[in-house]
């Protein structure tokens, strides 16, 4: 039986700034246990919804997420969600190749039914970013990977977390 959360096609965008990060619906790629939102409380969380067929994701978003892992280390959680709103399944080998070729330094999982979390979170396309504070409250959401727009704004927002509060 599929739950409402896993088959949400009508009640889109469960994400609101200032509200708790809603649960996601994910499948494992590499056999890792799928985390839940509670697992990430205590540190800020950056969620990247991406697709390996998206040039902006591969060329700019994934490298940016890798940079966040490198720059903030243990102070920031980064999670990737591979979504595919076109409904095309990617074989495990493609994910393994991408993980190596792109030096992906953060855990990532597949979106259940290709696009469940994408739809539930009201993502604008790929890449889409969600940032939650250490309490799991969503403080920022932005679509895109333009270095002088989305990524710059996201970078500033992440810097604010670490300069304005004690984490």
Which single residue is written with the structure tokens 């990977």? Answer: 145
Instruction: Kindly state whether residue 103 falls inside one of the protein's structural domains.
Output: yes
Question: Quick check: is 143 in a domain?
Answer: no
Local confidence band at 88 (pLDDT 50, 70, 90 cut-offs): confident
> pLDDT at residue 87 above 90?
no
Q: Is the dihedral of CA 44, 50, 52, 58 positive or negative?
A: negative
Q: What is the pLDDT of residue 2?
A: 46
Residue 7 lies in a domain: no
Model pLDDT, residue 13: 61
In a domain, 151, yes or no: no
Domain count, the chain: 1
Residue 149 domain-assigned (yes or no): no
pLDDT of residue 78: 98
Which two structure tokens, joined as six digits, stand for 37?
């939102």
Q: In which domain, by residue range, is 132 found?
A: 55-137
In a domain, 115, yes or no: yes
My answer on whether omega of the bond before 127 falls inside 30° of 0, hence cis, is yes
pLDDT band at 85 (very low <50, low <70, confident <90, very high): confident
Is 96 part of a structural domain of the chain? yes
- The model carries a pTM of 0.90
pLDDT range class, residue 89, cuts 50, 70, 90: confident
């Amino acid at each position: 039986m599929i739950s409402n959360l896993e088959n949400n096609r009508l009640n889109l965008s469960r994400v609101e700034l200032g509200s708790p990060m809603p649960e996601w619906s994910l499948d494992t790629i590499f056999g890792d246990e799928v985390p839940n939102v509670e697992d990430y409380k205590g540190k800020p969380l950056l969620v990247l919804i991406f697709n390996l067929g998206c040039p902006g994701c591969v060329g700019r978003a994934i490298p940016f997420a890798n940079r966040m892992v490198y720059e903030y280390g243990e102070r920031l959680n980064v999670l990737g969600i591979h979504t595919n709103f076109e409904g095309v399944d990617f074989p495990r080998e493609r994910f393994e190749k991408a993980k190596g070729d792109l030096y992906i330094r953060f855990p990532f999982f597949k979106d259940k039914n290709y696009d469940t979390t994408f739809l539930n979170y009201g993502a604008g396309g790929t890449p889409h970013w969600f940032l939650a504070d250490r309490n799991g409250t969503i403080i920022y959401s932005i679509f895109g990977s333009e270095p002088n727009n989305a990524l710059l704004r996201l970078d500033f927002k992440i810097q604010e977390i670490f300069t304005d509060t004690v984490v």
